Structure 1
Amino acid sequence: MNSSILRKKAVILLSGGLDSATILAMAQQQDYDCYTLSFNYGQRHCAEIAAAQRIAEHFAVCDHKVIHLNLDCIGGSALTDAGIAVPITGLTSEIPVTYVPARNTVFLALALGWAEVLGARDIFIGVNAMDYSGYPDCRPAFIRQFEQLANVATKAGVMGESFHIHAPLLHWHKHEIIRHGVQLGVNYALTVSCYQANEQGEACGQCDACRLRRDGFAQAQVVDPTRYV
């Protein structure tokens, strides 16, 4: 039997942000052969795509793909519609306008397709239900339901080769993620989290993503390597 068949493979959703870089490091620590997947989906900037490429190269992943989508065609989010301003007033109890309709559902579906082609049965996603912006597709219920879907919607799944959706950061606070990532050797200077970073990858320092990131580094007592405008 070909020994390569016995190696564990995983598809990692790699946005270029802090959380996704951390889960990539976690997957490698667990001895997975990592295949990273990013999306140019019509978001406000491409700095995170460049960041994802840097991170993939840093971790020497097996393969890194960037899939082009046009979620900006349907809009409905401050991240895909230039006519909707990115909020800078801080988190509220409401789902913010930075929520992108069906984004994680679409991303996981494409990751599932690639995983089936690769013979991988593990998919990692860096969603977080603690320090987050209230997105419905970052909750435990969503992850559970998608995993069930994966196992009835694929040839591999119905033949008994179960897929597993790993969301290891689901119940972690941002400072816990950062501390763990530092222990794993993650270089957070490579990452971009800002919703409206400029072409050089410099962060605005005012959006929800920037606030969560900055507070996380402060609480972790780790120097924040973010480049701000």
Structure 2
Amino acid sequence: MSKKAVVIMSGGMDSTLCATIAVNEGYEVIALHFDYDQRTMKREKRAFNEICDKLGIQKRLNLNANFIADIGGNSLTDKSLSVPKTGLSDDVPNTYVPFRNGIFISIAAAVAEKNGAEAIFIGVVEEDSSGYPDCTHEFIKQINLAINHGTAPSFKTKIITPLVNLSKAQIVAKSLEIGSPLELTWSCYENENEACGLCDSCRLRLNGFEKAGAKDPIKYIS
């Protein structure tokens, strides 16, 4: 029997690298994507499908999680709030969607249990990130314990976070090294045609490419 992994995929370069790693390590990947009425929902969905096509991932689950937008409290789903473009700060930005990764991982655990998947991959980054509290190594450790306590005794899964201690430059370099399709990924929080280059996600991405000495293959507003 082949080993199985659920990979939470946003369409961004971090989760795409996780998917590439899982495929390269011989996992049968179940790709899991969420629509939650975010600003760039259509563009992220397109990226997700194109990346799965490129990596040869057949099993895909695209779930409606619009209740996240109903909860609100973040600029990704609340159009009355502006996506910050003043540079990165020490504060958690309003692009933080409350407990989003906790919600996604919980659903991924249900998918993993149903399919007998021994691993859940998620591209959280703690070292060089926006400072989201649900992207830390400690959070992943604790929610993994909760999942294994709250599922059937015969089921155990491990949350794998290959990028959690990497810088964005290291993520870019690793993506180039193993052939992760960076040209298909989308990171911008603001736009769906050309990336804004100014939101915190774009800034982190561009900074990673610059420090890695590489050119970002996606288009930005000039």
Query: TM range, normalised to the smaller chain?
Result: over 0.9
Deviations 1:71-121 (A, max 9, x none): 111110001100110000111111110000111011011111111111112
Matches of 1:24 and 1:179 in 2, distance apart?
Answer: 16
1:193-212 mapped onto 2 (5 Å cutoff): 193-198=187-192, 200=193, 202-212=194-204
Which 4+ stretches in 1 moved above 3 angstroms? none
Instruction: Return the alpha-carbon distance in structure 2 between the equivalents of residues 141 and 176 of structure 1.
Output: 21
Partner of 1:37, secondary structure, is strand
Is 1:173 matched up with 2:173?
no
Structure 2, gaps ≥5 residues long: none
The CA distance in 2 between the partners of 1:186 and 1:152, in whole Å, is 34
Look up the match of 1:81: 78
The partner residue of 2:62 within 66, 74, 78 is 66
Letter in 1 for 2:58: C
Partners of 1:76 and 1:141 lie apart in 2 by 24
Q: Distance in 1 between matches of 2:176 and 2:47?
A: 18
The residue identity in structure 2 corresponding to 1:28 is: V
| Identity level (%) | 40
Alpha-carbon RMSD across the aligned residues, in angstroms, is 0.9
Post-superposition offset of 1:62: 3.1
Q: Does 1:20 align with 2:28?
A: no
Q: Distance in 2 between matches of 1:213 and 1:135?
A: 16
One of 106, 110, 130 as aligned partner of 2:103: 106
Q: CA deviation at 1:224?
A: 1.1
Q: 3-state SS of the aligned residue for 1:170?
A: coil
In 1: Cα distance, 2:103 partner to 2:181 partner:
28
* Alpha-carbon shift at residue 204 of structure 1 (Å): 0.5
Q: Does 1:189 align with 2:186?
A: no
Matching residue's letter, 1:88: K
TM-score by length of 2: 0.96
> Alpha-carbon deviations, 1:168-197, whole Å to 9, x = none?
100000111111111111121100001112
Aligned-partner Cα distance in 1 for 2:88–2:12: 19
Task: Render the CA deviation track for 1:42-77: whole Å, top value 9, x for unaligned.
Answer: 111221111111101110113111101111111100
1:151 is paired with a residue of what secondary structure?
helix
